Structure 1
Amino acid sequence: MVHATIRHRKTKNRDVPLSGLFNGEKEENTVNNNTSPEAVRRLKDSEEESGGTQGSLKPAPTPRTKIPVGQGLQRKSSTSSKEYEKKSNGYSEEHEDEYDGHNGDSDSLSSCLTEPDPTSLKTSSSTGSLHSGYTLSGSMMSLFSSGDFGVVEVRGRIQFSLVYDSQREELQVKVCRCEDIASARKERSDPYVKTYLLPDKSSHSKKKTAVKKKTLNPVYDQTLRYKVRIGELRSRTLNLSVWHAEPLGRNVFLGEVEVSLGLWDWTCTMPLWQNLQPRVLLNPESISSRGTILLSIKFIPDGYEGGGLPLTGELHIWLREAQGLLGHKGGAIDSFVRSYILPDASRQSGQKTRVVKRSISPTYNHTMVYDGFHSSDVREACAELTVWQREGLKPHILGGIRLSCGTGQSYGEDVSWMDSTEDEIAVWNSMIENPNRWVDATLSIRTNLAPRST
């Protein structure tokens, strides 16, 4: 009877939608069942990719095919390499599964990309910053959370230190202690500390300390380790939350701290104190960026290579990778990138990468080549790259970038898609001023692209 009651209460308190539950089962089976065909395939892919995608990536040469498109532009070829993923080990048991029901149900660029409310982009008591260029109101974890976090008034502080071991490619989070935390049950708490390396909220990202019984000043002195490349740290947010462990019910939230690793001073290795903060709900509409995209771009004018070649100007876009993709539900996602050379938004102008599965930092290594350019066309055109999350049969847009001169006009007409940011304009102008040279760029995947008719 006791065991049946415990199982019933655990099931009753798990606030997880069916889609998230089934996705979780699939993920757990993939990790734990080493004899399954899917596990064998992933292991084989990982072994093949580990030797070829680290370090400097190179776009592979492919046969060229010409497809006429609008404004004299032609699509020539696209190439891609195998998927490269790195996953960190983590714990996978807990009562307070926190998944949000938010789901962006639209694949239309004009309907998905809306201007965020400027009033929501302010700093509050619990700040999670995905990138160093801006801050968000509320906790980034709240995007994926559900449940009542206001049962106990948050107080106290936590001491921790961060060290990155470059030889092991390992982030070491040492949780030292907490002081004067809130009491969850009759002047006592059984606290433990849980961490996530956001935006990944999968079981691979979740780490936990031991539970300390009947204390408001627990001492842990435990180190939680994450396998992560140093290039990804600037797009990650470390979430440390303190919980009271409830054996026969839902665990009680006692406070949290979020650290933007892009802003962290890595020369400081000594333990620091930070006050615990309440979880403040974050409106998904206030997200101004959902990660970063790394690419290289170059323009080859007609006849630049000698001998009258190329016959027309060529635009090369080498999509290397994305980092810190923030999906609609958190955790690793299946993603791909679409490209268009505006003003031509037809299918013939559109290209896309392959789908990279279960990664928040996917490697695409995909080259897109467009020809049919004249020198005057480059200042009138715009390269639009959008990142998509695939869920089932319907993809959902996360955001994108637009590379152009940002004049607001194309061939003398006002257009909404000439809305490039200063960084995007700088990349495009650098490409024009340095013909036949690769221009490297790391740009924010923004959500406020002006809608355009397709």
Structure 2
Amino acid sequence: MPWRNKEASSPSSANLPPEALLSPSSRGNMADKLKDPNTLGFLEAAVKISHTSPDIPAEVQMSVKEHIMRHTRLQRQTTEPASSTRHTSFKRHLPRQMHVSSMDYGNELPPAAEQPTSIGRIKPELYKQKSVDGDEAKSEATKSCGKINFSLRYDYESETLIVRILKAFDLPAKDFCGSSDPYVKIYLLPDRKCKLQTRVHRKTLNPTFDENFHFPVPYEELADRKLHLSVFDFDRFSRHDMIGEVILDNLFEASDLSRETSIWKDIQYATSESVDLGEIMFSLCYLPTAGRLTLTVIKCRNLKAMDITGYSDPYVKVSLLCDGRRLKKKKTTIKKNTLNPVYNEAIIFDIPPENMDQVSLLISVMDYDRVGHNEIIGVCRVGISAEGLGRDHWNEMLAYPRKPIAHWHSLVEVKKSFKEGNPRL
């Protein structure tokens, strides 16, 4: 066989020196070339290159194999249980494209020849301006607008919290003359009906107020109260401009309130007064084998008063959403005349595991009205597409199946997109 003869002759050729393979005339030319320094450098580089490709050791082969295996998407063998009859109604509401099974694009890596070139490739550096603008907008929303100095003290005999507004420093100018006419509104949340405010100080960016304000409140309720200070610029002929606000979540932050304590706080930028709608606590639990999602509404606190009596008649409505459409909704019982209702009621939805990343829950706290329409106090949302705590709570539930995960969620106003996308929400 030719390849056998070639293989048999190769060892003898390999043992001969390179000069033996050249003719006499070629040897002379090679000697002249070796005297040239440029040729010498080229040959040295060639020798170095050839030395970099010996037989690959077994250890390197194993490491390359492991590297490829890590980057190869392995097809995991799963045993699909028979579809439960509970999920029939759920799948009937899903869009048609959701019944398409996930496509398998193969387990092999694409060949090197099919790698995309630089033409048409997205260059992130071209989009840095947008991210910079986003950071500037974010910093604009959180920038400081001066400082405010106030003190807190609790009078145990009269059960009254005494808030003393002392002064403000380095406020931004809101008038054309480069000054402002500042004053401060004071709330003790969640009560917004009792609104107190300081006198207006003309043409100054460093006003000294030195005024006391009294809020009757039992001592045991102080832990659930928040102090809200809103700084405004007075305008005689138009709407007053809001400079910023300060919200003190913990009244015991500086001291136990038994003695007067001076506090300095940065005034945070705001264009309108933030409304505290209250909070809701609920737990999430998912059973993958049964395809069952359980949301347990535990309780609410500090809800916004919707009735003339200063209370509300709250109940909770939970809507199952898929691609912006509401598939199902369920409600709790109604709690009369309270801003801190306790429910401990479970709401169950049957959702197949393959659809868990396509759904979300909209939790709405409603105020029941016997005569007119029921009003929305506030909402929150949980799911893969939710934001902040709503997304984190959902991911934590999926990470710990069969275990109830409970969190407090702040209620927010209904977004415009919810109203436009589905008026029934």
TM-score greater than 0.5 by the shorter chain: no
Superposition TM-score, scaled by structure 1 size: 0.42
Higher share of residues assigned helix: 2
Q: What TM-score, normalized to structure 2?
A: 0.45
